[in-house]
Structure 1
Amino acid sequence: MANYLLEIGLEEMPAHLVSAAARQLATRVSDFLIDNRVTFETVTEFSTPRRLAVLVSGLANESESIDEEVKGPSAKIAKDSEGNWSKAIQGFSRGQGVTPDDLVLKGDYYYANKHTSGFKTADILIKIGADVISKMNFSTYMKWANNNFLFIRPIQWLVSLLDSQIVAFTLLDVTANAMTRGHRFLADTPIVLEQATDYENALKNAFVVADSAVRKALIVAQIVEIADDNDWTIYLVPNLLEEVNNLVEYPTAFIGNFDAKYLAVPEEVLVTSMREHQRYFEVRDLTGKLQPHFISVRNGNAEFIENVARGNEKVLVARLEDAEFFWREDQKLKISDLVEKLKKVTFHEKIGSVYEHMRRVKMIAEKIRQQAHLPEEYAEKLDRAADIYKFDLLTGMVGEFDELQGVMGEKYALLAGEDAAVATSIREHYLPTSADGALPETAIGSVLAIADKLESILSFFTVGLIPSGSNDPYALRRATAGILRIIDKQKWTIQLAELIAELYELPLNGFKYAKYDEVMTFINGRVAKMLEGTARHDIVEAVLATSSLNVAKLTAIANYIDVKSTESTFKNSVENLARVFNLADKLENEPSIDETKFENESEKALFAASQTLNMTADINQNITQLFSLSKPISDFFDKTMVMVEDETLKNNRLSLLTNITEKASEIADFRLINTK
C-alpha cells in the first residue's frame, strides 16, 4: 500500500472559494481513482489561500484486474448462410480482444469472457493533471500569459509524489515534482519532500498550517484565550471564521482598539465595518455590550504584532470616521425628499424607476393583506410603509455600506417619528437575504416583503428577464423561495394562483404584467422544491396538480398523504380514486345527477357516501374521508358498467364520478401517485 500527495500551488485565491475548491479536488481525486479501479483507504484534503492538496492513504500499487462477461450479437446473425462467422460477430470479437472461436453461446446470444489486467498506479496517476486538475470548475476563473487554460488562479507549482517517487505530469509550463513552498514571507524557499507523508510536518516547519481544520482550531483557541484574559465575549460568526481561516496560512490573533466616541454610531454600522469590510471580530463585554476593541488574525507570527495592530486600527478608524459623518448628515434629510428623488433612480432600465416599483408594491401589498385576512387597522400602516420603504437607498450611510439597506431605513424612520411597525417593516422587507436566512417577524413586514419580491418577479418576467439554467442574475428563485417561506411561517391561507391572477388586472400606470403562464410554471417549480423531503416526489406532483398554491395547505396535504402511504389500504384507496378521475374526464356535458336513474344499490351507496364528503379546513379529515370511499367505489365498479350505450345513464354515472373528483381535486390528482 502506498501514499500519494497531490498539491496545486497558486497565487492567493479568494477566501470564500478556498473550502469549496478543496472539497472539489478531494472528490475528483477519489472519483478518478475509483474510475480507474485503484483502491485506497482515505483521502485527506489540505488548503490554504495559496494551495490545494490531497494526501491519499492506503493506495494500491496497481489497479484491479477485472473479468467480465460481455453480451454480443444474437445467434441468429452470428453466422452467414455458409456457416462462416458474420461481420457482426467478427467486429464484436475484435472489440473485445478475442477471436470468434473464444465466444460462448448462452441461450440466444454469444458472450465474450473479457479479462482486463491491472495497471501500475504510477502510470495511472500521470493522467491526474488532465483528468482531474484541468477539469475543475469554479465560479471565478483567471487566464494568464498567452495560454487559453482557465483556473481559479494562476498555477505556480505542482507536487505529485507517490511515496518517494515523483509522478511527473505537466500543465502548461509547470511540471509536477517533489518541491513545495512554505509561508510567502516567513519561509518562502523551496522545500523538497522526501516522502508524501512528510507534507504536513514539512509545511508546519515552514510556517504553514496546511490542514484547514487544525488552522481554524488554532484561531479559535487564540481568540478564546484573549477573550478569557480580558473578560470579553467574542461571537465567532461561522462564515466570518471560515473566511478568516482561508485568508491565512499561519494565524496569529491580536487585539485592536478604536476611540469609544464611535460607539455613538449605531451598532449595526460598527459591526458591519468590522465584520464585512475588515474581517474583524467585534468585542463585547460579558453583558453583550459592544466595546471599543476588535480582534483580527494576522497571516504570520507574533513578531512586530504591535505595528500590525496599529495599521489595522488606522484602516478601521478611517471607515468609522466616514460612518460617523454619514450618520450625522443623514439625520438632516427628510424622508419625503428622498422618496421624491427615487423617481429618478432606475429600478431597471426596462421596468422603470424605484418609485414606480414602490407604487406597484403598494397595490400588491393591500391585496395580500386582504388574502391574509389581516385586520383593517393594519391597512394604514402598511400603506405608509409601502410609500417610503426604499428611501434609505439615497442616504449616505447606505451608499457607503450597502449591506445596511433596510437596517438604516428603520433607524432613520424611527428618528423621523414614523410608527414603530412601519419602521420595522422597512428593515424586514429585505428578508430573507439567503436561502435559509431569517424571516420577517411582524405581519406588516411579512406582507411588504412578499409584495416587494412578487412585484420584482412579475416585472422581470414581463420584460423577458427570466431565470434559465443556473443563470438567475436578479435572484428571482431566492425571492420566490422567500415568499413561500414567509407564507408558510405565518400560516396564511393565501391562494397564490388566485392572487397573481388578480394582479394581472391591476391598473399599473402604463405598465402591464405579462407571461402569466411562465410565472406560474416558475412558482410551481419553487413550491415543488420547497416540498422536497416532506413527501415522495410523486405525491408532491399530485398535490401540486391542484393548482391552489396555498403553501400551508399543500404542505399539510403532502405530509398527510405521505403518512397514509405506509398503510396497507393506501394502494386500493389511491387506485380507486385514480379510476374515478380517469372516467370522470369522459363527461362531455355539465354534471347533473338524477337519483331516480340509479339502477342498483352500489350507485345509491356511492352517491350517499359522496354526499357526506364535505371538504373542511381539516386536511387530515378530508383525506381520511376520501380514502373511506374506496369500498363504495370498488363496489360501484364491480356492479356497474359506466360507459353504457344509453347516453342518459352514462352521463348520470359520469356525473356521479365527477361530483367526487371535484372534491378530491382540492386534495390531489390521485392519478399521479405511484402505487406500484
Structure 2
Amino acid sequence: MNNYLLFEVGVEEMPSRFVASTLKQIKESAESMLNEKRVKFDNIKTYATPRRLTFIIEGLAEKQENLEEEVKGPSKKISLDADGNFTKPALGFMKSKGLNPEDIYFKQAGKDEYLFATIREEGAETSEVLKEILPLAVKSVVFPKAMHWAGKDIRFVRPIRWLVALLNDEVLPVDLEGIIASNVTKGHRFLGAKEITVNSVEDYMTKLRENFVILDQAERKEMIVKQAEEVAASLGGKVIMDPDLLDEVTCIVEYPTAFYGEFDKEYLKLPKKVVITPMQEHQRYFPVEDGCGNLLPNFIAVRNGNSHGIENVKAGNEKVLEARLADALFFYREDQKRDINYFKERLKTVVFQAKLGTIYDKSERLEKLAGSIADMLGCADEKADIVKAAGICKADLVTNMVFEFDELQGYMGMEYAKLDGEKEEVAKAIYEHYMPRFAGDELPSSIHGSVLSIADKLDSVAGFFAIGIQPTGSQDPYALRRQALGIINILMENKLTIDIRKAAEYALDNYTEIEFDKEKVVSEIMDFFAERIKNSFRDMGIRYDVVDAVLNSDVSDIYDMHKRASELNEWINKDELVEMLTAFNRVSTLAEKAEGTCVDENLLKEAPEKELYEAFKSVKTEVEVYLDAKEYGKALDSFASLRPAVDNMFDNVMVMDKDEALKNNRLNMLKNISDTMLKICDLNKIEYK
C-alpha cells in the first residue's frame, strides 16, 4: 500500500486561534470516515499555515475491503404467515437490504429462529471513496463563529478559495460545493507565485518553499525561536519567549523573519509587566531582557516575509509601540496622584451585579469572609494583612491603567499598594487573588493570596446562587464553574483544610440585603461543588467509582477528599480486592437492617462472632488513629484485616437468628463495622468483576 493522497484546503487568512483545532477536526473526521468506509491507510500527516490546511494520507489501499456481513431480521414466526408466505415485516427487511427471497435463510438465535442474510459488497475504488468523504470532512468542522460566502451552503472560518487533491500523481477532482480540486496551489500572498502547478508531494513541498511558504508549522516555530535568540544575543540580551505567543505567531506567518526594534529607555521606569503587556498582548512582540532579568529597550517582532524593506517595517512597529507605551506612562503617572483608598471609594460607582450591589460592597464582604476563612485555617498572625488586602484588592479596577490595559488587573493593584507603603504580603495577595484565571494557570503561592482568592470566588458563587443564577448546560456567563474549580485546586494543591460548607454559610451571611432560603442555597452550592469535584478527580485519573465512594463521605473538606480518593485509587489495585469487597458488601447489606449500634457482649454466644467483635474493637481504634493522621491507605489496610473474621462469622453463624435478641445484637455489630468503613469511604461503590 504505497498510495498516497495530498489534499490542501486553501483559505483566506485564518485567525491563529482556529488553525490547530481546524486541522485536528478535519484529520479526525477523515480518519473516522476512512475506517468506517473500510479503506486502510498507514497515517495522516497534517500541516498548516494561515492560508492553507494540508493533509497527506500515506499507505492508502487501492480499494475498500470487501464487505461480508450477516444481518438479522425478524423472527420466523413474524416472517411467515399461516400459508408459509413472507409477511410484510419480512418483505420490508428484504427491501431495506436489497435482498431477494433466495438470499435469505432462517437460523436459530437464542430460543427462536430468525431471518438472516449474508450481505456481500465489492469494495469500491479508494478514489471514489475519497471524493465522497473529503468534502464531508471539511464540512464537519465546528467553529464558534463561521462565515458564508458566494451563496454557498458551507460554513467555514474563512472563505475557501482553492483545493488541491492528488492521488499519487493524478488529480482527484474533489468537489466541495463547486470548488473543484486541481493540482494548482498558491505561494506566499506577496512574495510567491499566484499559481503553482504541482505533480507530487515532493514537488508540492519544494515549490511552496521556493515561493516563500514554510508548510511545516514545527519548522516555522523552530525558525522563529532560532532567529529571535540570535537577534536577542546581538543586542546583548535574551528573548522572553512566551509559549502561547510563540504558537500564535507561528500560525500567522508563512515565511517568518525576525527583527528587532527599539523604544525610549524612559519607559523602563514603568513596572516590568506594564511594558511587556502591550508588547505581547497587543502587538505580538517578544520582549528582551538582560542576564539579570531587567528589560532592555528593545523588542523582537516577526514579519510574514523576507528581509526586504525590513527597516521600514521596523520603524512602523516602533511607532505603534511608542504610542502604547506613552499612553501607559501617562496613565501610570496620573494614577500615582491618588492613593489606593481613593480608588476604593470610587468602587461605589461600579456595579458588581444589579442584585448583589457594587464592587465596593463586594470588597466589604470580602473583608468579612476572608477573615472568617483565615480563622478556619488558624491564620491568626496573617489575618490582619489578609483582611487589609481584601479591602483594597479591587481598587485598581477603576485606575486609568487597568481601564486601558485590563489584563493588568491585580498586578497594578499590587504595584500601587507597594507605592502606598503596604506590606509585601498585602501587595502580593492583591495580585494572587485572581489566580487561577484559567485552567492550568498558576495558583497563589502565599497563604494570604490563597485565602483571598478562595474568599473572592466563594463570594461570587454564593451570591449568584442566592439570587437563583446558576450554570445551566453550556451556559455559565459568570464563570462560576471556573471559580469553583479554582477553589478546589487551591485547597488541594496548597493542602488547605477548611469546611467548605461552613465557608459557604459565612459567605451567604454577608448578603444581608437580599432574601433567600439559606438552607436550600447551601445545599445547592454543595451539590455544585460535588459535581466539580467529581470532574476534577476524574481528570486526574481517579476512577469514577472511587470518586463516588469518597463523595459518599463528608464533602466539606476538599483537600481531605482528594487525599482520600488518591489513596483509595491506589489501594483498590490489591489482588484480594474481590474477596474483601464481597465480604464488606455483605456486612453493609445486613447493617441496613439494624435498629441501633449498641452491642451487648453477653449476647455474643458463638466463638466466630466473639472473635469478630474483639478484632473489630482493636481495628476501630487503629482506624481512628489513622483517620486523624489522614493516612487513609493504612486505615483501609487495617479495616481490611477484618475480612478473615468476617468470613468466618458468615460461614459459621446465622446472623438472622430466630432469637430476636441475638439477631439484633449481631446486626448492631455489623452496623458498627459498616459505620467505621463509611468513615473512610463507601466500599460498596467500588465496582469489581
**Structure-2 separation of matches of 1:502 and 1:262:** 45
**Structure-1 separation of matches of 2:548 and 2:263:** 57
Task: Give 1:87-98 correspondences, 5 Å limit.
Answer: 87-98=88-99
Residue 414 in structure 1 maps to residue 413 in structure 2: no
Task: Give 1:118-137 correspondences, 5 Å limit.
Answer: 118-128=123-133, 130-137=135-142
- Larger deviation, residues 414-423 vs 594-603: 594-603
Residue of 256, 273, 281 corresponding to 2:278: 273
| Contact 1:249–1:300 under 8 Å retained in 2 | yes
SS in 2 for 1:610: helix
Task: Give 1:190-201 correspondences, 5 Å limit.
Answer: 190-201=195-206
Instruction: Give the superposed CA RMSD.
Output: 2.3
Alpha carbons of structure 1 residues 367 and 646: separation in structure 2 relative to 1, 3 Å: farther
| Contact 2:375–2:383 under 8 Å retained in 1 | no
Task: Give 1:72-151 correspondences, 5 Å limit.
Answer: 72-107=73-108, 108-128=113-133, 130-144=135-149, 146=151, 149-151=154-156
Alpha carbons of structure 1 residues 287 and 452: separation in structure 2 relative to 1, 3 Å: same
Aligned to 2:10: 9
Deviations 1:380-434 (A, max 9, x none): 1111111111001111111111111111111100110112111110001011122
Alpha carbons of structure 1 residues 191 and 511: separation in structure 2 relative to 1, 3 Å: farther
Could you tell me the percent identity over the aligned residues? 39
**Structure-1 separation of matches of 2:669 and 2:507:** 36
Residue 381 in structure 1 maps to residue 385 in structure 2: yes
- 1:56, distance to aligned residue in structure 2 (A): 1.7
Aligned to 1:625: 638
Alpha carbons of structure 1 residues 498 and 619: separation in structure 2 relative to 1, 3 Å: farther
- Larger deviation, residues 471-480 vs 45-54: 471-480
Residue of 585, 590, 598 corresponding to 1:583: 590
**Structure-2 separation of matches of 1:510 and 1:470:** 27
- Larger deviation, residues 268-277 vs 22-31: 22-31
TM-score by length of 2: 0.92
**Structure-1 separation of matches of 2:149 and 2:525:** 42
SS in 2 for 1:302: coil
| Contact 2:3–2:61 under 8 Å retained in 1 | yes
**Structure-1 separation of matches of 2:201 and 2:37:** 21
Task: Give 1:661-672 correspondences, 5 Å limit.
Answer: 661-672=674-685
Which AA in structure 2 matches 1:604? K
| Contact 2:30–2:137 under 8 Å retained in 1 | yes
**Structure-2 separation of matches of 1:669 and 1:439:** 31
- Larger deviation, residues 347-356 vs 637-646: 637-646
Residue of 193, 204, 209 corresponding to 1:204: 209
| Contact 2:596–2:671 under 8 Å retained in 1 | no
Task: Give 1:474-553 correspondences, 5 Å limit.
Answer: 474-501=478-505, 503-505=507-509, 508-510=512-514, 512=516, 515-532=521-538, 533-553=540-560
Which AA in structure 2 matches 1:401? F
| Contact 2:463–2:508 under 8 Å retained in 1 | no
Residue 354 in structure 1 maps to residue 359 in structure 2: yes
Which AA in structure 2 matches 1:319? R
| Contact 1:163–1:197 under 8 Å retained in 2 | no
Which AA in structure 1 matches 2:242? V
| Contact 1:89–1:100 under 8 Å retained in 2 | no
| Contact 1:14–1:49 under 8 Å retained in 2 | yes
| Contact 2:26–2:140 under 8 Å retained in 1 | no
- Larger deviation, residues 504-513 vs 37-46: 504-513
- 1:146, distance to aligned residue in structure 2 (A): 4.8
Aligned to 1:47: 48
Deviations 1:305-363 (A, max 9, x none): 01000100000010110111111111111222211211221112343211222223233
| Contact 2:462–2:508 under 8 Å retained in 1 | no
Which AA in structure 2 matches 1:471? Q
- 1:482, distance to aligned residue in structure 2 (A): 1.5
**Structure-2 separation of matches of 1:342 and 1:226:** 45
Aligned to 1:57: 58
SS in 2 for 1:431: coil
**Structure-1 separation of matches of 2:59 and 2:32:** 16
- 1:94, distance to aligned residue in structure 2 (A): 3.8
- 1:443, distance to aligned residue in structure 2 (A): 0.6
Residue 610 in structure 1 maps to residue 616 in structure 2: yes
Gaps of 5+ in 1: none
Alpha carbons of structure 1 residues 166 and 16: separation in structure 2 relative to 1, 3 Å: same
Aligned to 1:556: 563
| Contact 1:73–1:88 under 8 Å retained in 2 | yes
Which AA in structure 1 matches 2:674? T
- 1:590, distance to aligned residue in structure 2 (A): 4.6
**Structure-2 separation of matches of 1:327 and 1:9:** 46
Task: Give 1:139-538 correspondences, 5 Å limit.
Answer: 139-144=144-149, 146=151, 149-187=154-192, 189-374=194-379, 376-501=380-505, 503-505=507-509, 508-510=512-514, 512=516, 515-532=521-538, 533-538=540-545
TM-score by length of 1: 0.94
SS in 2 for 1:143: coil
Which AA in structure 1 matches 2:443? L
- 1:255, distance to aligned residue in structure 2 (A): 0.8
Aligned to 1:592: 598
Alpha carbons of structure 1 residues 506 and 262: separation in structure 2 relative to 1, 3 Å: closer
- 1:263, distance to aligned residue in structure 2 (A): 0.6
**Structure-2 separation of matches of 1:582 and 1:523:** 29
- 1:170, distance to aligned residue in structure 2 (A): 4.0
- 1:217, distance to aligned residue in structure 2 (A): 1.6
Deviations 1:597-649 (A, max 9, x none): 33323333333233221323232332122111212222333334344555544
| Contact 1:231–1:285 under 8 Å retained in 2 | yes
| Contact 1:232–1:286 under 8 Å retained in 2 | yes
Deviations 1:242-277 (A, max 9, x none): 101111111111010111111111111111111111
- Larger deviation, residues 166-175 vs 153-162: 166-175
Alpha carbons of structure 1 residues 146 and 534: separation in structure 2 relative to 1, 3 Å: closer
- 1:494, distance to aligned residue in structure 2 (A): 2.0
- 1:231, distance to aligned residue in structure 2 (A): 3.3
SS in 2 for 1:44: strand
- Larger deviation, residues 654-663 vs 303-312: 654-663
**Structure-2 separation of matches of 1:538 and 1:433:** 30
Gaps of 5+ in 2: none
- 1:564, distance to aligned residue in structure 2 (A): 2.5
**Structure-2 separation of matches of 1:424 and 1:369:** 16
Deviations 1:260-300 (A, max 9, x none): 11111111111111111111111112333210011100011
- 1:88, distance to aligned residue in structure 2 (A): 3.8
| Contact 1:546–1:667 under 8 Å retained in 2 | yes
Alpha carbons of structure 1 residues 473 and 129: separation in structure 2 relative to 1, 3 Å: farther
Alpha carbons of structure 1 residues 352 and 31: separation in structure 2 relative to 1, 3 Å: same
**Structure-1 separation of matches of 2:646 and 2:374:** 42
**Structure-2 separation of matches of 1:68 and 1:504:** 63
**Structure-1 separation of matches of 2:588 and 2:372:** 34
**Structure-2 separation of matches of 1:345 and 1:647:** 70
- Larger deviation, residues 211-220 vs 385-394: 211-220
| Contact 2:191–2:305 under 8 Å retained in 1 | yes
Aligned to 2:573: 566
**Structure-1 separation of matches of 2:600 and 2:508:** 40
- 1:302, distance to aligned residue in structure 2 (A): 0.5
Deviations 1:564-601 (A, max 9, x none): 323232222222222222222233x4533333333323
- Larger deviation, residues 147-156 vs 177-186: 147-156
Residue 66 in structure 1 maps to residue 71 in structure 2: no
